Every structure is written in C-alpha cells, then in structure tokens.
Amino acid sequence: MMQEQPQSFEYASAPQAVGTKLKRPKYRTDENDALALGSNIMYDRRVVRGNTYGAQVVTQNASRELERLRSENERAMKREVARRRLELGARPSTPPAVSGRVHMDTMTDTYLEELSDRPVEVDADTQTEAALDRPPSPLFVPAKSGADVACQVEVNEIFDFDAECAPLLEVLVGKTLQTAMLEAMEEEELAAIRRRQDQFEVRT
C-alpha cells in the first residue's frame, strides 16, 4: 500500500489597502479644516520657530506657574495693605471746602523739600597766578667714572710729513725715470733693427 504525502497549507486572499486608525476623507472639506490645522506641526504652540539663541521659551506649565505666583503676590500685597490700615486706624477724611473756597495741597513734613525739575546751577570762576617763564634746562653732564690718565708725547716722536715722505718720493721718481729710460732705449733699438733690415734688403 502506498502512503499519501502530506500537503503544505496554502492561503491566498485578494490584495487590499492598509486601513488607518483615523478615517479621513479623500478630499478636504470645510468641516475637517480644523482637523488639518491641528495635525500640522507648524500650528503647534510648543514648536518654536526662528532664532532660539536669545529667545526665552516659556512653556504652558511655566506660564501657568508665573500667573499663579503673580496672583498670590497680589493677594499677599492686598492683605498687607489691609493689615496696615487696621493698625493705623481709620483716619477721618477731610471735610469738603466751604463755599467760595478751594482746598490746596500743602506739605506737612518736618523738613521741607524743594521740588524742582532742574538742579540748582551756580557759576563759579577762578583766577590763577601769572606763570613765570621756565628757566632753560641745564646741560646734561654725565658723572665721571674711573681715574684720569695723561700721556706725554715728545717732539721728535711726532710724525713729520716732509721728512717721512722724502724717501718714498725718491724711490717712486727714480723707478719712473728708469722705466721711461728703458722704454726709450727699446724704441731706439727697434728703430736700429728696422734700418738694418732695410739696408740688407737694398744690398740683396
């Protein structure tokens, strides 16, 4: 007997779009404009746009806390004012003025205080004495340091130009004259050689 082979389980269904939790219409209408604005993050007050370096971002919780602290301070101040009024007692109010007269505000403090918008200005002059001409500054003379030393030179130790230059001039003049004489003798010898050559050519 042949045993049947077990077949694998297969399931197939038609494709369908994935459903969303919030059912939205395909096109916008006036009824769901508020929903569209609420879902846009740019309309959320918690989002800060622009430069945030210098801006102080106040959250809703912080603003509520500030408002609560402000109201508590106002209540405390009102209670303090009421307490002071009770301590001082109710002062009698000023009766109305008699017909034909008008009340005027007066200062009843112990020390009077002058009320003015501008401070008191006082002119003050001063005269200085005539300044004398400044004397010229003395020349700067540096302080001496060390011991003074002198040197004695004899008359025969001083350089004598005429006496010292005479030998040099004699050597230079003698050398020049000797060189000139040698050049003249060389020219005469060359001239004699040319004459000799000319005479030899004439004989031949």
DSSP string over 91-138: PPPPPPPPTT---------SS-----SS---------PPPPPPPPPPP
- DSSP 8-class letter at 32: T
pLDDT in tens, 124-147: 888 877 777 788 889 999 888 888
Q: Name the residue ranges covered by the structural domains of the chain.
A: 33-47+58-88, 162-203
Query: Between 107 and 195, where is the model more confident?
Result: 195
pLDDT in tens, 40-82: 777 777 777 777 676 666 788 888 898 999 999 999 999 998 8
Region of residue 185 (phi > 0: left; psi between -120 and 50: alpha; otherwise: beta)? alpha
pLDDT in tens, 143-201: 888 888 888 888 888 888 888 899 999 999 999 999 999 999 999 999 999 999 999 99
Q: Are 140 and 131 in contact (CB under 8 A)?
A: no
User: Mean pLDDT, to the nearest integer, of 11-34?
Assistant: 65
Could you give the CA distance from residue 30 to residue 35 in angstroms, rounded to a whole number?
10
Alpha helices by DSSP H, listed for the chain, are: 33-39, 60-88, 161-203
